[in-house]
Copies of this chain bind each other. A is one copy, B any other.
């Protein structure tokens, strides 16, 4: 047994029926030309036959869920058929049916008596593609690391037939959790334990924030209350779609903004339209929390990227009160520049402290009534995780989509996480099934929103 650090165990402690603390991914694969129905079987066989790495054989030692320290135990009798499942979409086998299944799978809790991960190899799509949905508990690995493991299981060579699934990829750190420093989702709702951790940062953070505000560049936007910021239930709804990066890049170039700004503007326009239709658009502009890796910050300021992957977060004004896409993009770009400028002036430690301060209210969400009666620290979380830059393959099957499926929390009923893949941006939208009705409409609105920006800056 090995000791489970609080940065891991807080995800077990904070988990409840309404707040599963696992992250997921939905991958689409195009089988190699000429392959028949046996390809699914072969893939399943490949997924089940490899030796599982130490990381994926760990499970929490009993007793689980008590408030004391918890330990990792290595499972020496892994039940491959349990962890890797064979599933099928019903007729007519569209992406829509696949997304419905994904919603169901993502809404159920992992069994704590086993290593905390599951995968489904899914057949039955009318277009012949194969889907793989996988989920892993946030106490075992964070979302970014999970996506990286997924990537490392793929090959750039379509002829390569020696691919291993993510759970068989050797991890450098052995049994240690590959957690990446400051973790936004972690602080967001880590229960009673984490409040103390975050509170410890307050004095330092306050000093920094005071400094920042005195410098007079910007005040932290105050997020309005929206339907996305109430308590959540246990059921989920998932939507996913890909967009060509080139379309977004063209808008960024002609508007002299960044790719990230254009993505935020896409989401802003989509949220505006979605909430207008539900008669629920707030008068005040909505805000988004955007996790930023320090290396991304380094890109902006020209500094050397810090080693490791410590992550901070900025809060950006989404300008959802503005009618025109072009205006929204301008305000977003301005707000984002200001936030990054502040970040750029801070040391990495200061960045973490400053980020923690902005998220402090969210750490209090386990307090009853807190979500219902207070303003949210921001309205939605939008994460952009870099993915592979070229076409990738698993034993000859081309990766045709890699949609992150993240976590929703009390007060944050919608999470949008995207990842780049080859020439595409793959958007994964996960929402509370009750608080975020008709989630799939956001996909249409995202397209409309991008088209409006293209027209304005074409």
Q: Which A residues fall within an 8 A CB radius of B?
A: 17-18, 37, 40-41, 63, 79, 81-82, 85-91, 97, 100-101, 104, 107-109, 111-114, 123-124, 233-235, 368, 433-434
Contacts and interface: CB of A to CB of B under 8 A. Distances in A.
Nearest to A107: B111
Contact of A91 (B123, B433, B434): B123
A79 B111 contact: no
A70 to B, nearest CB: 15
A233 B91 contact: no
**Which of A41, A85, A90 has the most C-beta atoms of chain B within 10 angstroms of its own C-beta?**
A90
A91 B40 contact: yes
Given A108-B109, A109-B108, A234-B111, A90 B123 contact: yes
Contact of A17 (B63, B86, B111): B111
B233 A113 contact: yes
29 contacts: A17-B109, A17-B111, A18-B113, A40-B90, A41-B91, A63-B368, A79-B434, A82-B433, A85-B100, A85-B104, A86-B97, A86-B100, A88-B88, A88-B91, A88-B124, A90-B123, A90-B124, A91-B123, A107-B111, A108-B109, A109-B109, A109-B234, A111-B233, A111-B235, A113-B233, A113-B434, A114-B233, A114-B235, A124-B124
A112 B17 contact: yes
A235 B89 CA distance: 22
Nearest to A44: B90
9 smallest A-B Cβ distances: which pairs? A113-B233, A108-B108, A88-B90, A111-B234, A88-B88, A86-B90, A111-B235, A90-B123, A87-B90
A123 to B, nearest CB: 6
A234 B40 CA distance: 28
A101 B89 CA distance: 13
A40 B92 CA distance: 11
A89 B90 CA distance: 8
Contacts of A88: 88-91, 124
Contacts of A113: 18, 233-235, 434
Contacts of A101: 87
A111 B108 CA distance: 9
A120 to B, nearest CB: 10
Contacts of A111: 17, 107, 233-235
A168 B37 CA distance: 40
Contacts of A89: 88
Given A108-B109, A111-B107, A434-B113, A235 B91 contact: no
Given A88-B88, A90-B124, 5 more contacts: A63-B368, A81-B100, A85-B104, A86-B90, A107-B111
